[in-house]
Amino acid sequence: GENVEQHPSTLSVQEGDSAVIKCTYSDSASNYFPWYKQELGKRPQLIIDIRSNVGEKKDQRIAVTLNKTAKHFSLHITETQPEDSAVYFCAANAGGTSYGKLTFGQGTILTVHP
Amino acid sequence: GAVVSQHPSWVICKSGTSVKIECRSLDFQATTMFWYRQFPKQSLMLMATSNEGSKATYEQGVEKDKFLINHASLTLSTLTVTSAHPEDSSFYICSEGRASTEAFFGQGTRLTVV
């Protein structure tokens, strides 16, 4: 089955700096790669996603890149703000099936210091 | 607004009792829904795929006799944790299984077994 590895597990940055979180996946059939932000005790919140027919996608301060050959994708947050502090998860859909059947990375605790 | 409604949001039960968690799709006829479990400070792990009108498909290592899933209608899937024990205490969350759009998660259920 799909295996998703996420690094780093913790990331501390100063306000205004950039943050990068990286993930690798194992199933070459995966074709959907979402990124989630999760606050304690709440559901994951989709912040950006990318499909396998696209190499990069950007939404304001957030961007995601995908390298299908190397099977890795990354989240880039620019101009970080304290409210960006949260746990971030990458995910990939298993076997290229439903976008709801997801394998998650281990998570990254992002702390943005004012 | 929310497209997936999950209840209850939290529940405390005694060891040995059973607990039912409901997941309702509010705007979509979901033939497939997914159940995840998240232990404290860990990632979301897929437990099972709930299939409307047929048996659920369980991930490796998940006891199907302990975690009973019923998907009797296109808008409702239920997860029953039978004979709950303290080690079953976790955050349980469901999602819709749409083919090619983002996954919509329920609010999650915090289960505490005492």
By C-alpha distance, which of B18, B1, B11, B30 is closest to B110? B11
Q: Which residues of A touch B (CB under 8 A)?
A: 1, 32, 34, 41-44, 46, 49, 89, 94, 98-107
Q: What is the 3-state secondary structure (H, E, C) of B89-102?
A: CEEEEEEECCCCCC
Cα–chain center distance at A21: 7
Residue ranges of B 17-46 with Cβ closer than 8 A to chain A? 32-34, 42-46
Contacts of A105 in chain B (CB under 8 A): 43
The predicted structure's pLDDT at residue A86? 97
Residues B5-29: tens digit of each pLDDT: 999 999 999 999 999 999 999 887 8
Question: Is some CB atom of chain A closer than 8 A to the CB atom of B99?
Answer: yes
Phi first, then psi, for residue A28 (nearest 5°) are -65, -15
- Which amino acid, B47? M
Q: Of the ranges A83-97, B27-41, B81-95, which is most confident? A: B81-95
Q: pLDDT confidence of A2, banded at 50, 70, 90?
A: confident
pLDDT one-digit tens code per residue, B26-73 = 887 888 999 999 999 999 999 999 988 889 999 999 999 999 999 988
Provide CB contacts within 8 A for B108, sequence distance 6+.
A41, A42, A43, B6, B9, B38, B91, B92, B93
Q: Indicate the pairing of strand A86-93 with strand B10-13.
A: unpaired
